[in-house]
Homo-oligomer: A and B are copies of this chain.
Amino acid sequence: MSSFAQQATWIWYPGDYEIWLSNKMQNRRTERGTFFPVFWKMDNHYVLMDFYKTFTLQQPKEVNIYAEGTYNVKLDGKAFEGMPSVITVPAGTHKINIKVFSQATVPAIFVQGKTIVSDSGWLLTFEDKEWIDETGKTSDISATQWVNADYGSFNNPLSPPSKFSLPTQPQAPVSIIKNGNTSLIDFGKETFGFLQLHGIKGKGNINIIYGESKEEANSDDHAETLDRIQFNSTVNTDSTLPLSKAFRYVKVETTSGITVDSVSMLYEYADVKDKGSFACSDTLINKIYDVSKYTLHLATREFFIDGIKRDRWVWSGDAYQSYLMNYYLMNDDETVKRTIYALRGKDPVTAHINTIMDYTFYWFLSVYDYYMYSGDSAFIKQNYPRMQTLMDYCLSRRNKDGLMEGLPGDWVFIDWAAGLSKQGEVSFEQMLFCRSLETMALCATINNDATNANKYKQLAADIKQKLFSYYWNEQKKALVHSRVNGVASNNVTRYANMFGIFFNYFTPAQKQEIKTSVLLNDSVQKITTPYMRFYELEALCALGEQQHVLQQMKDYWGGMLQLGATSFWEEYDPSKKGAEHYAMYGRPFGKSLCHAWGASPIYLLGKYYLGVSPTSSGYATYKIEPSLGGLQWMEGTVPTPHGNIALRCDTKQIKIRSTEGEGTLRIKSKTIPKGNNISVKNIDDNIYEISIKPGIDYIINYKGL
């Protein structure tokens, strides 16, 4: 991924547009018609921005300038009069400065000439500190911090960032049941968008009750979202409701004196294309994969959001899973970066991200993951100062033992789980804290900051040592849940244990112990959210339990499908019945029936069945460890920054073709794998490695174990 755009594009200060757009998006939530905003700090953009770049021209060139805001333009420090829309830059080397003020929207520019264009090569600052002394001389000791411009996909000068909205498509209902003044409309599956009323005539009120389930749409008292409209129209009128909503069903009620001819909707979506794919011999798994895709797409909007009915907010823990799924489906960098920027906000840090301690830690992890999957080191560099100040905040909140413990104002979330203790020093939080410190060390190294890399490494090592000395219970063969007042509890929960497996914090022997003592132990409190199922199943996959996990997927996600789910849920407890499934937070329809974290099979199938993941940044090197997990065959593609890795695999043959990077296929085989263009390395008993080069069709015959 290049750090320079290929064409003229709208540019702005890194993170500012993302924060502005997330303010706009996250304040669209309503609950029963009432505005329902977030409860954490929302940040704001810099209103005044200086942009510059130096160009060398062979010939004088005309340059067109567009800006969002009031602006001036300087050539080599000398201002043009007014706000010029076209300037001529003479031949030679020249510096162009554009300074923009915009209060309501983010200062942004679009510059378009034959060779002079706005792109990420422009440098920006929010304080240029260029004063002049009494003689008119400009200050000569500058401490101005210049950063590279941020940009998106706004390549049209007449479509500036502030005007952006998601595209829409008309959708018609699949059934309508009329009953007097009431119509119950079914759009056939979970959907999202703007309801449209056609042919409204008369005077009166229209009540619209939205439902992800039929029961919800029929519940005037408990439906989570609704609209109430007053009309007075003597001619037929159409109306598109101003706020998009999530629903499958809509109940439209009219008072006497007003009628509505028909109802449709504008489906609103992020235009992000699929690059990855998965198909296999098991039709239920294929169905689960398809509904997962639909779920993830519905929850991928301006940002990766949690769910589409209720919060519609950007939550770090939820987004963390969407990023990982994204790498195996759309592999869209822009939505990842946008979400990471929006979550981080600005300094000063006054609370954990989303107020949740664990969510701060997921944010650190997400930055490094993004680097591994995209290779975008420019983003790491741009973000590093914000990583440092956020980590400073964490470090300032350690307790006397150097551990993270919930202080007033800190939400220790972990999972939605009945009776889960959040008191004291929770092992799960130390696990994520340790991994965050390791991430900081890695990012410090990418930034050539050896001093801090070393500092973070030592801090991480200290926490890791404490994780084992404080929490490992040799009888229980597991990390216990927490310490309270310095005393470790006897309670074992799954959280820290499963993360320790794919973080590779345990020895191979410990991993096997934990598999039995925790992961496959029914007496340890079960997980009921797809959110933590994600990590539980990942841990099992990391232990080679693909066959077991496949069955779990079929039971758990298949269970939702059997109940008629058209998208996956926030929480699923097979022991519940009927409309009980829709309740949460003490509200009959409080549960979200389309929650991003429900789509985790995308990630599991891509990473642990197709078995593809990067081993260095941007898939420069990667591994392929396919695992059929009992399937007869599977095939799919995994997207890489500039292409993809295509794979088909059955019990006897593997076909691979990649477009970039150096791959290492690792397979188990009773006999030596064979094929054209392959050289086989025997690693261990029956384990073989084959190097995969781009642009070559590999057909490898093997005999699976």
Within 8 A of B (CB), among A390-417: 406-411, 416-417
Tell whether, in the assembled complex, residue A411 and residue B80 are in contact, meaning their CB atoms are under 8 Å apart. Answer: no
A127 at the interface (CB under 8 A from B): yes
Q: Which residue of B lies closest to A99 (CB)?
A: B37
Which one of A44-52, A284-292, A532-540, A670-678 is at the interface? A44-52
Q: Does A24 contact B (CB under 8 A)?
A: yes
Interface membership of A27, Cβ < 8 A: yes
Q: Beyond A23-B103, A41-B46, A48-B42, is A409–B129 a contact (Cβ under 8 Å)?
A: yes
- Shortest CB-to-CB span from A358 to chain B, Å, is 13
Question: Of B47, B131, B417, which one neighbours A44 at CB under 8 angstroms?
Answer: B47
Is A575 an interface residue when CB atoms closer than 8 A count as contact? no
Closest Cβ of chain B to A374, distance in Å, is 29
In contact, B584 and A134 (Cβ under 8 angstroms): yes
Whether B42 lies near A417 (C-beta < 8 A) is no
A134 CA to B126 CA in the complex, in Å?
42
A71 to chain B, nearest CB (A): 6
Is B129 within 8 A of A355, CB to CB?
A: yes
- Of A70, A126, A134, A351, most buried by chain B (CB within 10 Å of CB) is A134
In the complex, per-residue mask of A348-389: 1 if CB is within 8 Å of any chain B CB, else 0: 101100011000000000000000000000000000000000
Expressed in whole angstroms, the Cα–Cα distance for A56 and B250 within the complex equals 42
> Which of A140-148, A467-475, A501-509, A512-520 binds B?
A140-148
Does A104 lie at the interface of the complex (its beta carbon under 8 Å from any beta carbon of B)? yes
Name A408's closest neighbour in chain B (CB-CB).
Answer: B143
A39 and B72 within 8 A (CB): no
Residues in B whose Cβ lies below 8 Å from that of A46:
41-42, 44
- A38 to B50, alpha carbons, bound, how many Å? 11
> What CA separation (Å) do A492 and B551 show in the bound complex?
87
Report if A45-B44 is in contact (Cβ < 8 Å); known contacts: A35-B70, A127-B39, A143-B409. yes
- Tell me which of A299-307, A482-490, A585-593, A634-642 binds B: A585-593
Q: Provide the bound-state CA to CA distance between A44 and B44, in Å.
A: 6
* Cα-based distance from A144 to B41 in the complex (angstroms): 11
- Asked if A33 contacts B82 (CB within 8 A), the reply is yes
Interface centre among A32, A48, A130, A347 (most CB of B within 10 A): A48
Max chain B CB contacts within 10 Å: which of A35, A355, A586? A35
Closest residue of B by beta carbon distance from A44 = B44
Q: Is A4 an interface residue (CB 8 A)?
A: no
B351 touches A27 (CB 8 A): no
* Chain B nearest Cβ from A125, distance in angstroms: 9
A413-434 vs B: 1/0 string, CB under 8 Å?
0001110000000000000000
Q: What chain B residues lie within 8 Å of A135 (beta carbons)?
A: 418, 585-586
A136-156 contact mask (Cβ, 8 Å, vs B): 1 or 0: 100101111000000000000
Given A32-B81, A41-B126, A80-B34, A409-B586 contact (CB < 8 Å): no
Tell me if A86 is interfacial: C-beta within 8 Å of chain B: no
Pick the contact of A34 from B31, B72, B126, B585 — CB < 8 Å? B72
Which residues of B lie under 8 Å from residue A407 when comparing CB positions? Answer: 143
A449 within 8 A of B: no
Cα A407 to Cα B142 in complex, Å, equals 9
Which bucket holds chain A's interface residue count? 35 or more
The verdict on A136 contacting B586 (CB below 8 Å), with A44-B47, A348-B348 known, is yes
**Is A320 at the interface (CB under 8 A from chain B)?**
no
Number of copies: 2
Distance A409 CA – B80 CA, assembled complex (angstroms): 27
Are A35 and B99 in contact, CB atoms less than 8 angstroms apart?
yes
- A6-32 CB mask vs B (1 if < 8 Å, else 0) is 000000000000001001100100011
Whether B44 and A134, one on each chain, are in contact in the complex, defined by CB atoms closer than 8 angstroms, is: no
User: Measured between C-beta atoms, what is the minimum distance from A614 to chain B in Å?
Assistant: 35
Q: Given A41-B127, A104-B103, does the pair A79, B136 have CB atoms closer than 8 Å?
A: no
- What are the residues of chain B within 8 A of A70 when measuring CB–CB? 27, 35
* Closest residue on chain B to residue A585 by CB atoms: B136
Contact indicator A27/B44 (Cβ below 8 Å): no
A83 interface residue, CB < 8 Å from B?
Answer: yes
* Bound form: Cα–Cα A142–B351 in Å: 12
Least Cβ distance of A109 to chain B in Å?
A: 13
A54-82 interface (Cβ within 8 A of B): 70-72, 79-82
Is A132 among interface residues, defined by CB-CB distance under 8 A? yes
Q: Which of A40, A47, A408 has the most CB of B within 10 A?
A: A47
In whole angstroms, how far apart are the Cα atoms of A39 and B143 in the complex? 12
- Taking a contact as CB atoms under 8 Å apart, the answer to whether A36 and B586 are in contact is no
Residue in B closest to A42 when the chains form the complex, CB atoms: B48
Flag whether A128 is at the interface (Cβ < 8 A): yes
Task: Indicate which residue in B83, B355, B411, B586 contacts A35 across the interface (CB closer than 8 Å).
Answer: B83
Where the two chains meet, the residues of A that have a C-beta atom closer than 8 Å to any C-beta of B are 20, 23-24, 27, 31-42, 44-48, 70-72, 79-83, 99, 101, 103-105, 126-132, 134-136, 139, 141-144, 228, 347-348, 350-351, 355-356, 406-411, 416-418, 584-587, 590
- Given A35-B72, A35-B99, A36-B72, 13 other A-B residues pairs in contact with their CB atoms under 8 A: A27-B101, A33-B81, A33-B82, A34-B72, A37-B99, A39-B131, A40-B127, A127-B355, A134-B585, A136-B586, A141-B409, A142-B408, A143-B408
Closest 7 CB pairs of A and B: A143-B409, A136-B586, A104-B104, A44-B44, A143-B408, A134-B416, A41-B127
7 contacts between A and B (CB under 8 A): A20-B103, A27-B70, A35-B70, A37-B72, A37-B99, A44-B47, A347-B347
